[in-house]
Structure formats: structure tokens, C-alpha cells
Amino acid sequence: MTKKKRASRAGTISAADWVAASRKRLIAEGISSVKVEPLARELGVTPGSFYWHFKNRQSLHRALLRDWLNSNVKPFFSTFELAEKSPREQYLALAYVWVLSPDFNPGLDVAIREWSKTSSLVGRIMRRVDVSRIGLYQGIFEDFGHEPIAALVRARMMYYHQIGYYTMKVEEDLASRLMHLPHYAAAMSGDTWLLDCTKPEEVRAALTGFRHRVNVGAVQACRKAP
């Protein structure tokens, strides 16, 4: 692409395009790869056009953090709020985010965690997010009837399991993962209600239907699944 063509294309590239390209590089190669010149080449624009949208590379990094907070952190809390106020439904809501949500990007979560090892700012934000997510689970397990310290331990086990699942890049097809989920739910919560789901599509129905049910347990949702 000629310099003239790159200059003309620059007007069609938005800040969101720079963030999207940066996200791909962050996930694939880490934060050290998020640099202006290679990003400009990928986008087919001149490096100077970067400064139409961002003051410097640090401002792009901050935009990446906001992107992660919106796509990978906010859904946990917004989805949790949509669920009925019962521990079963709230547990299903969080499971939906981890397993089926189109918003949550596991690779981005892993990449941000790696970045947090070299950035004190990202590290502080990551720790706050971890504490907040674990807090959601602790509240759920307390509502299942566990004492606060037992609920905290279960919450940590649940959360560390999910983080480890993606960090280790476990190879498992979706149907298998869905079939394992009721057993994880029973082990973590002490409640066996989800074991009535015996098919992947029944588990999927329980996860995706949480926001539509009013005082209806997941067992009934499983039984109604095709």
C-alpha cells in the first residue's frame, strides 16, 4: 500500500479499530507487541494517524484496559444482577458468562493477567477484579447455606478453577464441558439440583434461561429442554 493510500485510509480508521487490533496483538504476543508502527502496518495507515486518536502508547494501553473491563469484567456483574435472587439462579448466571457468553473473551483475560505481572497499575486492577469476582461467589455460597469462611474457600476454589481452566488451555469440546458443569456445581455448592440435567442441551437451556425464569428452578428448566 502506498503512502498516499495509507494517508487516505487513515480517515476511515477509528480509535475502536486501533483497540481491536491491539487486543489481537495482546492476546497473541503480549503487551510488548502492542506498538504503534506494527499496528499501523496491520491497519494500512501511517503511524502518524495513531495520534489522531491517542496521545501516546500509554493512552492506548489504558483504552485496552477499559476494553477488558467492559468485555470481561462488567458482564459478570450485569448478568448477576439480571438473575433471580436465588443462589441457584445466580450460580447459573455466572456459569453462563464463563462458558457461553459472547462478550467474555478467555484469551483476553489470560493476556491481561500476564500483563499484570509487569505493570503495577494493571496488577492492582487485576487484584481488585479478582476480589470482586470471588466476592460474588462467596455471597452465592453463603446463600446456599455455608458459613462465611467455608463460602470463601468454596468461592476461591471455584474461581481458581475457572482461571486455571483457561490459563492451562484445557482442550475440551463444549458438549463435554456442559456435561461436567452439573458435577462442578454439586461439588462447589453442595446442592445437586443441576444433576437432573443429563444432556448438553439441557445444561445449555439451564444456563441461557436463567434470565427468563421467575421462581423456577433449573431442574424444571432441564426437564423442559428438548
Taking every pair of Cα atoms in the chain, the longest distance, rounded to a whole number of angstroms, is 67
Query: What secondary structure, in 3-state letters, does 3-34 show?
Result: HHHHHHHHCCCCHHHHHHHHHHHHHHHCHHHC
C-alpha grid cell for residue 26? Answer: 495482546
C-alpha cell read off for 162: 475457572
21 with 68, same domain? Answer: no
* Same domain for 208 and 194: yes
Q: Does one domain contain both 21 and 50? A: yes
13 and 123 assigned to the same domain: no
* Tens digit of pLDDT at every position of the chain (226 positions): 445 444 445 557 899 999 999 999 999 999 999 999 999 999 999 999 999 999 999 999 999 999 999 999 999 999 999 898 899 999 999 999 999 999 899 999 999 999 999 999 999 999 999 999 999 999 999 999 999 999 999 999 999 999 999 999 999 999 999 999 999 999 999 999 999 999 999 999 999 986 554 334 444 455 443 3
- Write out the three cell numbers for 15: 480509535
- Domain that includes residue 30, residue range: 1-54
- Region for residue 169 given its phi and psi (left: phi exceeds 0; alpha: psi -120 to 50; beta: otherwise): left
Q: Is the domain of 215 the same as that of 175?
A: yes
Residues 44 and 102 in one domain: no
Instruction: Report the domain count for the chain.
Output: 2
Does residue 111 sit in the same domain as residue 209? yes
Residue where one domain finishes, among candidates 13, 29, 54: 54
Give the length of the chain. Answer: 226
Q: Are residues 126 and 43 in the same domain?
A: no
Torsion of CA 60, 66, 69, 72, to 10 degrees: -50
pTM for this structure? 0.86
Domain boundary (34, 54, 74) is at 54
Q: Are residues 10 and 94 in the same domain?
A: no
